[in-house]
Amino acid sequence: AQSVTQLGSHVSVSEGALVLLRCNYSSSVPPYLFWYVQYPNQGLQLLLKYTSAATLVKGINGFEAEFKKSETSFHLTKPSAHMSDAAEYFCAVSDRGSGNTGKLIFGQGTTLQVKP
Amino acid sequence: DTAVSQTPKYLVTQMGNDKSIKCEQNLGHDTMYWYKQDSKKFLKIMFSYNNKELIINETVPNRFSPKSPDKAHLNLHINSLELGDSAVYFCASSEGDGRKVAFFGQGTRLTVV
C-alpha cells in the first residue's frame, strides 16, 4: 500500500530564509505527487504537482519541488520565506494506471512557522 | 463563484443526534470525495463517488452515509453522532484521474458535545 511520510511535523524559519519541507513516498511505482497548503480555517489549495517527466516542478507563490525517484522524495522548497507562507503543508500521492480514482493519500502535514 | 462549497462551515451538536453536511461543485467534475481531518490535522479519504456511483468506501462506520443526488452534489449524513466524530470534514472534486488536481471545499468543523 502507498504511504507518504513528511519528516518534521513543525518547521520554523526566519523571514527571508530558505524553506525546505521534506516528503518521501513509498510505492513500487512512482505515483503522481502533490503539495497542498492549508491556511488557518481554510480548505486545501494546490501548490504544485508532479505528473510527468519534468522532475523539477514550479508552483505558485515561489514554491518548487523536485522529484527524485532514486530517493523516493518530493521535497518542497522556497528560496526566501515570507510571513504569509506560515501555514500547514501537505504532501499527497495518487495512483497511476488504469482504475485510479484520483484518491489522495496524504502525509501527516508540516506546520511552517515564519519568524520576523 | 466558489468552485467547491460546503455547508455548514461550523456544526455543533450533541451526541446521538443525526446531522448532514452538504457539498456542491460547479467545476463539471465527475468525481467527488469526502475527507476527514482529525485533531492532529491528518487527512484521510472516507468516500468517493463517480457520476453518482460509490467507488470508494474506506472502512467508515455505517453511521456515515454519503448521498449523491447528481454528479454536482455529494452530501454526508451522519447518524447517532459520537464524540470521536468531531473533526473537520472536507469535500473535494476532481476529474477522477490520478493526474488531475482535486479541488477542496472550505471544510465543515463538526464538534460533538
Interval A59-114: pLDDT, tens: 999 999 999 999 999 999 999 999 999 999 999 998 876 667 888 999 999 999 99
Interchain CB distance below 8 Å, A101 and B107: no
Is the CB of residue A50 less than 8 Å from the CB of residue A67?
yes
Report angle CA A25, A30, A32 to the nearest 5 degrees: 85
Q: Is A70 on the interface with B (CB under 8 A)?
A: no
The predicted pLDDT at position A99 comes to 67
The answer on pLDDT for A51 being more than 90 is: no
Mean pLDDT by groups of 10 residues along chain B of 113 residues: 91 97 96 95 93 86 93 96 97 87 94 97
Interchain CB distance below 8 Å, B96 and A108: no
The predicted pLDDT at position A98 comes to 62
For residues A58 and A53, give the distance between their C-alpha atoms in angstroms, rounded to a whole number: 13
How many residues in total does chain B contain? 113
For residues B6 and B29, give the distance between their C-alpha atoms in angstroms, rounded to a whole number: 16
